[in-house]
């Protein structure tokens, strides 16, 4: 399998799906001529032309709404919002329209569309450009939410997102764009929704992550291995649907769980996952569920203090040590 970056894997998925299906169109702010703010759409305009790859005005709510309408008309739009932070301008179309159309019209229409959004913190972009809003999207029924951690999953999940007839929020982490990994060449390589992956087998504790947090969990597991602690790492891959069974089975095996979330702790997805573990694994837990979260502050700019607001591998290591020192 060739090795490629997360960015190139997404780019490849877009190209493969556009080649496969004429109905797939890509548009967004600066995706065509400029080839994307993060260069994810490089080469699309030259290959597919300006009818299928289009720059659009800076109008996030309308970007999403146009996708809803175009999907209803029978095309398969893949829209890019330049960053997830701008999704807040589009929350009306995302929550009130994209996620509701199928249900409120009694299933008479489906909305096959994808909204891709880079996000996450760690680049010193300040409070308005460093947010992790995955819990916002997970909270809303009617749409799927994908958040790949690896280049292979980025390709396979995006292809599944384009092919499903459901609306999809596709989250990408800006700090993962340059990360490398093996990616299957098969143009039919698809990663299904609702199927978490066990990135690493272990016995003592289950680390549950998604997106960049899964990569940090892997790093923490490698560090802990040197201390003789065997960690299992579960990468959720899709947040909606959430593969509860896979992480519950892992926690049932290890007896301990650390949930790592980049988003804010207050009402964050870690609370939801912890409650699912308590509801279903209470009898087998050997310790409380540990949450490692983004701090509940607007993101500061300064490198020194930004770092403490986002989970780090060292913090996960310490969290696991703390957990192992506790007992019921």
- Give the catalytic positions in this structure: 60, 129
Binding track, positions 222-261, relative to other proteins; x by CB under 8 A: ----------------------------------------
**Closest distance of CB 85 from other proteins, Å:** 17
Q: Which residue lies nearer to other proteins by CB, 100 or 256?
A: 100
Q: How many residues bind other proteins (CB under 8 A)?
A: 42
User: Any contact of residue 168 with other proteins (CB under 8 A)?
Assistant: no
Interface map 113-152 toward other proteins (x if CB under 8 A):
----------------------------xx-x--------
**How many C-beta neighbours within 10 Å does residue 266 have?**
10
Residue with tokens 């780019």: 11
- C-alpha distance across the termini of the chain, in Å: 46
One of 1, 19, 96, 326 touching other proteins (CB under 8 A): 96
Q: Closest distance between other proteins and the C-beta of residue 261, in Å?
A: 24
Q: DSSP letters along 203-253, please?
A: SSEEEEE-THHHHHHHHHHHHHHTTT--EEEEE--EEETT-HHHHHHHHHH
Nearest distance, CB of residue 114 and other proteins, angstroms: 14
Answer for which of 2, 21, 34, 109 binds other proteins (CB under 8 A) is: 109
Q: Which stretch binds other proteins (CB under 8 A): 108-116, 196-204, 262-270, 281-289?
A: 108-116
Q: Going by DSSP bridges, is the β-strand pair 231-235/205-209 parallel, antiparallel, or unpaired?
A: parallel
Q: Which is nearer to other proteins, 110 or 230 (CB)?
A: 110
- Cis upstream peptide for 241 (omega within 30°): yes
**Residue 236: which of 272, 188, 286 has the closest Cα?**
272
Nearer to other proteins, 38 or 136 (CB): 136
Ramachandran region, residue 43 (left: φ > 0; alpha: ψ -120 to 50; beta: rest): left
Contact string (CB under 8 A) for other proteins, positions 50-89, x = contact: -x--x-xx-x-xxxxxxxxxxxxxxx-x------------
Q: Which is nearer to other proteins, 74 or 228 (CB)?
A: 74
Copy the structure tokens of residue 84: 């997830």
State how beta strands 24-28 and 3-5 pair: unpaired
Within 8 A by CB and 6+ apart from 307, the residues are none
Nearer to other proteins, 68 or 215 (CB): 68
E strand residue ranges, 90-187: 114-119, 144-146, 168-173, 180-182
Binding flag, residue 7, other proteins (CB under 8 A): no
Closer residue to other proteins, CB minimum distance, 30 or 287: 30
Nearest distance from residue 112's CB to other proteins, in Å?
A: 8
Q: How far apart are CA 191 and CA 185, in angstroms?
A: 13
* Residue of 248, 300, 316 lying closest to 124 (CA atoms): 300
Q: Which of residues 19-48 bind other proteins (CB under 8 A)?
A: 25
Half-sphere exposure of 255 (CA within 13 A, CB side): 12
Residue number with CB closer to other proteins (89 or 204):
89
Per-residue DSSP letter, 295: -
Distance of CA 296 to the CA centre of its chain: 20
CB of 137 to other proteins, least distance (A): 15
Interface with other proteins by CB under 8 A: which residues? 25, 51, 54, 56-57, 59, 61-75, 77, 92-93, 96-97, 101-110, 141-142, 144, 164-166
């Amino acid at each position: 399998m060739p090795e490629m970056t997360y960015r190139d894997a997404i780019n490849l998925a877009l190209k493969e799906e556009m080649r496969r299906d004429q109905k797939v169109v890509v548009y967004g702010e600066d995706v065509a001529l400029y080839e994307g703010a993060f260069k994810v759409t490089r080469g699309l305009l030259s290959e597919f032309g300006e009818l299928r790859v289009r720059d659009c005005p800076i109008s996030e709510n309308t970007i999403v709404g146009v996708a809803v309408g175009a999907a209803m008309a029978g095309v398969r739009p893949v829209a890019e919002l330049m960053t997830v932070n701008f999704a807040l301008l589009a929350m009306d179309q995302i929550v009130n329209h994209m996620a509701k159309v199928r249900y409120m019209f009694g299933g008479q229409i489906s909305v096959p569309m994808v909204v891709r959004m880079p996000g996450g913190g760690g680049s010193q972009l300040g409070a308005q450009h460093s947010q992790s809003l995955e819990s916002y999207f997970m909270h809303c029924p009617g749409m799927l939410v994908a958040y790949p951690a690896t280049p292979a999953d980025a390709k396979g999940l995006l292809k599944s997102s384009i092919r499903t007839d459901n609306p999809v929020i596709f989250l990408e982490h800006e700090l993962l764009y340059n990360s490398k990994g093996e990616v299957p060449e098969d143009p039919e390589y698809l990663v299904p929704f609702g199927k978490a992956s066990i990135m690493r087998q272990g016995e003592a504790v289950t680390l549950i992550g998604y997106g960049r947090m899964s990569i940090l969990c892997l790093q923490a597991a490698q560090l802990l291995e040197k201390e003789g602690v065997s960690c299992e790492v579960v990468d959720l891959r899709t947040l909606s649907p959430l593969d509860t069974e896979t992480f519950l089975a892992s926690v049932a095996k290890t007896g301990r769980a650390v949930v790592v979330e980049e988003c804010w702790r207050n009402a964050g997805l870690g609370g939801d996952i912890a409650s699912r573990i308590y509801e279903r694994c209470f009898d087998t837990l050997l310790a409380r569920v540990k949450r490692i979260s983004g701090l509940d502050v607007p993101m500061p700019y300064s490198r020194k203090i930004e770092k403490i607001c986002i989970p780090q591998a060292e913090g996960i290591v310490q969290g696991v040590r703390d957990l192992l020192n506790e007992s019921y």
